[in-house]
Amino acid sequence: MSIQIPRGTQDILPGVVEKWQYVEEVAKNLCHAYQYKEIRTPIFESSDLFTRGVGDTTDIVQKEMYMFEDRGGRSLALRPEGTASVVRSFVGNKMFGNPGQPVKLYYSGPMFRYERPQAGRYRQFVQFGVEALGSEDPAIDAEVLSLAMGIYRELGLKQLKLVINSLGDSGSRNAHREALINHFKPRISEFCGDCQNRLEKNPLRILDCKKDRDHELMSSAPSILEYLNDESREYFEKVQRYLSDMDVEFEVDPTLVRGLDYYNHTAFEIMSNAEGFGAITTLCGGGRYNGLVEEIGGPETPGIGFAFSIERLLSALEAEGVNLPINEGIDLFIVSLGDEAKDYAVKLLHKVRREGIASEKDYLDRKLKAQFKAADRCKAKYVAVIGENELKENKINLKDMATGEQEEVNLDHFVDRIKGKLSK
Site residues, ligand HAM (CB under 6 A) = 81-83, 113, 115, 120-122, 125, 127, 129, 131, 259-260, 282-287, 305-309, 311-312
Residue 285 φ/ψ region, left for φ over 0, alpha for ψ in the -120 to 50 degree band, beta for the rest: beta
Beta carbon of residue 284, minimum distance to ligand HAM (angstroms, whole number): 5
Which residue, 130 or 334, is less far from ligand HAM as judged by CB? 130
Q: How far is CA 15 from CA 46, 359, 373, 378, in A?
A: 36, 17, 19, 12
The Cα 246–Cα 213 span in angstroms is 35
Which residue, 116 or 424, is less far from ligand HAM as judged by CB? 116
Which residue, 259 or 338, is less far from ligand HAM as judged by CB? 259
Find the farthest-apart pair of alpha carbons in the chain and give their distance in angstroms, rounded.
96
Beta carbon of residue 234, minimum distance to ligand HAM (angstroms, whole number): 22
Which residue, 267 or 348, is less far from ligand HAM as judged by CB? 267
Beta carbon of residue 12, minimum distance to ligand HAM (angstroms, whole number): 13
Which residue, 55 or 285, is less far from ligand HAM as judged by CB? 285
| DSSP characters over 306-365 | EEEEHHHHHHHHHHTTPPP------SEEEEE-SHHHHHHHHHHHHHHHHTT--EEE--S-
Instruction: Measure CA 213 to chain center.
Output: 29
Beta carbon of residue 105, minimum distance to ligand HAM (angstroms, whole number): 10
Which residue, 181 or 209, is less far from ligand HAM as judged by CB? 209
Beta carbon of residue 129, minimum distance to ligand HAM (angstroms, whole number): 5
The Cα 10–Cα 47 span in angstroms is 25
Would you say 170 and 331 are in contact if contact means Cβ atoms under 8 Å apart? no
Beta carbon of residue 118, minimum distance to ligand HAM (angstroms, whole number): 9
The Cα 211–Cα 326 span in angstroms is 42
Which residue, 132 or 335, is less far from ligand HAM as judged by CB? 132
The Cα 276–Cα 322 span in angstroms is 13
Residue 375 φ/ψ region, left for φ over 0, alpha for ψ in the -120 to 50 degree band, beta for the rest: alpha
**Which residue from 303, 287, 295 is spatially nearest to 133, judged by alpha carbons?**
303
Beta carbon of residue 5, minimum distance to ligand HAM (angstroms, whole number): 15
Which residue, 150 or 287, is less far from ligand HAM as judged by CB? 287
- Taking CB positions, which residue lies at the least distance from ligand HAM? 305
Beta carbon of residue 42, minimum distance to ligand HAM (angstroms, whole number): 16
Beta carbon of residue 360, minimum distance to ligand HAM (angstroms, whole number): 35
Which residue, 311 or 390, is less far from ligand HAM as judged by CB? 311
**Which residue from 271, 82, 84, 279 is spatially nearest to 164, judged by alpha carbons?**
271
Query: Which residue type sits at 368?
Result: L
Residue 139 φ/ψ region, left for φ over 0, alpha for ψ in the -120 to 50 degree band, beta for the rest: alpha
Neighbours of 100 (CB within 10 A): 10
